[in-house]
Amino acid sequence: MTVHFINRDGERLTATAKEGESLLEVVVNQNLGIDGFGACEGTLACSTCHLIFEEDVFQKLDTITDEELDMLDLAYGLTDTSRLGCQVCVKKAMDGLTVQVPVEVADMRRELEVENSKIKG
Amino acid sequence: SAHHRLARVDIYEKLPVPFGLVRFGVAPDHPEVKNVINTFTQTAHSDRCAYYGNVTIGKDVMVKELQRAYHAVVLSYGAEDNQILGIPGENLSTVYSARAFVGWYNGLPENRDLKPDLSSETAVVLGQGNVALDVARVLLSPLDILRTDITEGSLAAIACSKVKRVWLVGRRGPLQVAFTIKELREMINLPGTRPLLDPADFTGLGDVIKDVPRPRKRLTELMIKSALEKPGEKEAARWASATKEWGLKFQRSPLEVLPAADGKQARGIRMAVTRLEGSGESARAVPTGEVEELECRLILSSIGYRSLPLDSSIPFDPKLGIIPNSLGRVQGAPGLYCSGWVKRGPTGVIITTMNDSFDTAQSVLEDLQMGVLNLSNSKEGFKSVRSILHSRGVHPVTFSDWEKIDAAEVARGKLAGKPREKIVDPQEMLQLISH
């Protein structure tokens, strides 16, 4: 199956996924160039595999556990359709799925600095 | 390095062994948090990356010498010291910084002889962050949970410990606790223990948090539930049979550590009762004039880490405890960068510091691309540093040397049924690799 990851710089990374693989496993197995993704190796000890889903896909995902919510609470750029990639497993109905790697606070702040310096001229 | 195919990175570290707080700060019963070592190891194995341990910057080699040898120097040496309380009695013999206590059980060489006094029933931890919860948990955990990569010496000491009750004391209220929900949940569920939460601290709090961001809301809801709701059957049974307990005391600001009759140990702590001005994260604790005393001998101060200036040539803000910088570029020092706690201050979890490092790396890459770093001057890198170190009698420890130390620790651990037995004497480490 095919899954698309929109990286932080906007680049679309397309990967082959096996049914039952977690999205973290897809990133690791397919060697996708997403910096610092999955630092704790899927043990719910960090939030670096944070991904943003489209609303309709998000609603159909398996129920989130307290343990996942606990770590998701520490993620940057948390949205209403955020999940941890290590806890979401690929299903047949998800073929062609597109997920967004969240833009970090640092990246947003850098854009602001660039904008500010432009205004100051 | 993935973003610039020709960049070489050399890492210098004061201790023989790498990984910093991942090895010496993360609690021994949190092994999953240490999985990030695998990512670090992969990076270190790149042929464009080299690790040099046992090298103290500011003593064995100076920053200016590094700047002559490299196009860019990034300072990411963290926060090795702790905030002081600034109250009378804080130097009594049974008062320790949480930083030193954590270093002790995690095998940090400088803390190996701490010998904390665990001979009395009640311990007070000043602070309500994740480090405070870590020390409370290590003090109260059943030994089978603790049998991990905690040092043999500290495990033996804890096995003889008389500590039964740990209070985590904060100057402000429940809405300002700095610990996070996973760690709190772990504490609430700690086998053999019961939580001591005063319902009066939590009554009516549910209404106040209706509109706060989800992380603060869920954290507060968990405290409210544990304090006000009747526990389920299993939990009630565990609390009833618990031999140890821990609790949260709010709105108490330490004024003085009271000396015991011998004048050396602590016998208690005097605290100002505070009220809050303002709300949320920026609420301030103001003394009410009322004072309270808590009897205890063991006091652990967990009020934050603190960075120190490395080398007199580097700008340092002693008030903020950081190197003045803009997006990781050290102010007034082209070619010098900083990242992590020495750049932003000593807070945040691994993801915070990881993202911050990516941020600094981005600044370095930009400066490379824009020609801010003059690449037309070729630099010698480690070649010139090696001769400086050699002339000063310093022998750097390479990553493959570390892997020998690593293998020895794992082998020793196997004999004791532990993932590793950490070597706590740097001389022993150096002898092992025949330095």
In tens, the pLDDT along B55-85 reads: 999 999 999 999 999 999 999 999 999 999 9
> What is the amino acid identity at position B376?
S
Cβ of A46 within 8 Å of Cβ of B33? The answer is yes
Interface pTM (ipTM) of the complex?
Answer: 0.89
Answer whether residue B168 shows pLDDT above 90.
yes
pLDDT score for A108: 55
Size of interface A-B (CB pairs under 8 A): 73
Name the region of A6 (left: φ>0; alpha: ψ -120 to 50; beta: rest).
beta
Mean pLDDT for B287-305 is 98
Q: CB distance B350–A44 less than 8 Å? A: no
The per-residue pLDDT for A113 is: 57
Asked if pLDDT for residue B88 goes beyond 60, the answer is: yes
Q: Quick one: pLDDT at residue A115?
A: 56
pLDDT digits (tens, 9 = 90+) for A26-82: 999 999 999 889 999 999 999 999 999 999 999 999 999 999 999 999 998 899 999
> Is it the case that residue B269 has pLDDT exceeding 90?
yes
The confidence score (pLDDT) of residue A106 equals 52
Cα-to-chain-centroid distance, residue B194: 26
Tell me if B330 sits within 8 A of B150, measured CB to CB: no
Q: Is the pLDDT of residue B138 over 90?
A: yes
Residues of B in contact with A74 (CB under 8 A): 180, 215, 349, 351
Band of residue B19 on the pLDDT scale cut at 50, 70, 90: very high
**Chain A residues touching residue B348 (CB < 8 angstroms):** none
| Concatenated DSSP letters of B314-357 | S--BTTTTB--EETTEETT-TTEEE-THHHH-S---HHHHHHHH
User: Residue A51: which H helix or E strand, with range?
Assistant: strand A50-52
A108: closest chain B residue by CA:
B359
Looking at residue B6, its pLDDT comes to 83
CA distances from A30 to A4, A103, B179, B229 (A): 12, 21, 36, 47
Question: Is residue B63 a contact partner of residue B314, using CB atoms and an 8 Å limit?
Answer: yes
Q: Which residues pair with B300 in a beta bridge?
A: B96, B125
Mean pLDDT computed over B383-411? 98
In chain A, the percentage of residues whose pLDDT exceeds 90 is 79
**pLDDT over 90 at A102, yes or no:** yes
Question: Does the distance separating the beta carbons of B36 and A66 come in below 8 Å?
Answer: no
pLDDT of residue A105: 57
Give me the percent of chain B exceeding a pLDDT of 70. 99
Kindly indicate the confidence band of residue B351, based on its pLDDT and cuts at 50, 70 and 90.
confident
Structure tokens at B296: 């205890």
Interface of B with A (CB under 8 A): 2, 30, 32-33, 35-36, 38-39, 180-182, 185, 214-215, 218-219, 327, 349-351, 354-356, 358-359, 362
Structure pTM? 0.94
Which of A92-96, A102-106, B350-354 has the lowest average pLDDT? A102-106
pLDDT of B1 > 50? The answer is no
Question: pLDDT tens digits, residue range B309-347?
Answer: 998 899 999 999 999 999 999 999 999 999 999 999 999
The pLDDT, as a whole number, for residue A121 is 39
In this structure, is the dihedral angle defined by the CA atoms of residues B301, B302, B304 and B310, taken in order, positive or negative?
A: positive
Q: How far is A46 from chain B (nearest CA, A)?
A: 7
Contact present, B140 and B190 (Cβ < 8 Å):
yes
At B4 the pLDDT is 74
